[in-house]
Chain A
Amino acid sequence: AQSVTQLGSHVSVSEGALVLLRCNYSSSVPPYLFWYVQYPNQGLQLLLKYTTGATLVKGINGFEAEFKKSETSFHLTKPSAHMSDAAEYFCAVSALTAAGNKLTFGGGTRVLVKP
């Protein structure tokens, strides 16, 4: 079975500072990994994904994430936080079951950006 752990339910960063959101996963098969962002009262938007190939993946809005198999991690970073980055971020792992493909989500990390 797959599982995802996001360390820190809340993260506070200053505008212009590094954003680092941690995600560790558990998977019995090679994982496909995702980061989504959610703004208040909206749906989730895909930030980036790792399927195969290059372990450093770049996404929208200046975010990137690195897949580290040895550490079972997929941490999300952005070099310089912007006020518009204030949102909740979810890490997810894909699982292919006999009944089809599912995503398992972490509990989310809410990011506050201080001016």
Chain B
Amino acid sequence: DGGITQSPKYLFRKEGQNVTLSCEQNLNHDAMYWYRQDPGQGLRLIYYSQIVNDFQKGDIAEGYSVSREKKESFPLTVTSAQKNPTAFYLCASRNGGSYEQYFGPGTRLTVT
């Protein structure tokens, strides 16, 4: 089955710790995206990558970092510099020839 996987579904961390969220796709899509979702605020773009070894900051990149070493993988690290890391994180991918994005199931991160 082709699709996007995010792991784990739920993640708990202590304040001050970095944490890495996994995103893998086997759709052979060129572009990948990370969004943050908070209640009542829709989706906000954190980082995106159009090709391997290249990525761009989105609207709320502060406190986050990414890498794109392989086409199928786009991990997101939430660093201790992120002031309010507790949120639902969604990964998406897009085929180069189209405009719609396809989403993974999400990871709910709770930092206490």
Contact = CB atoms under 8 A, between A and B. Distances in A.
Interface of A: 9, 32, 34, 36, 41-46, 49, 51, 90, 94, 99-103, 105-108
B99 A42 contact: no
Given A43-B90, A43-B104, A46-B102, A102 B42 contact: no
Given A43-B106, A46-B100, A103-B101, A108 B94 contact: no
Nearest to B88: A41
Contact of A44 (B56, B99, B103, B108): B103
Nearest to A108: B42
Given A90-B43, A103-B33, 19 more contacts: A9-B40, A41-B106, A41-B108, A42-B105, A43-B103, A43-B104, A44-B43, A44-B103, A45-B103, A46-B102, A49-B99, A90-B42, A99-B56, A101-B94, A101-B99, A102-B48, A105-B43, A107-B41, A108-B40
Interface string B71-95: 0000000000000000010101010
A69 to B, nearest CB: 17
A41 B6 CA distance: 13
A115 B85 CA distance: 38
A101 B102 contact: no
6 contacts: A36-B103, A44-B92, A45-B103, A100-B56, A102-B48, A103-B45
Contacts of A41: 88, 106, 108
Interface residues of B, number: 26
Given A42-B105, A43-B90, A99 B100 contact: no
Contacts of A106: 42
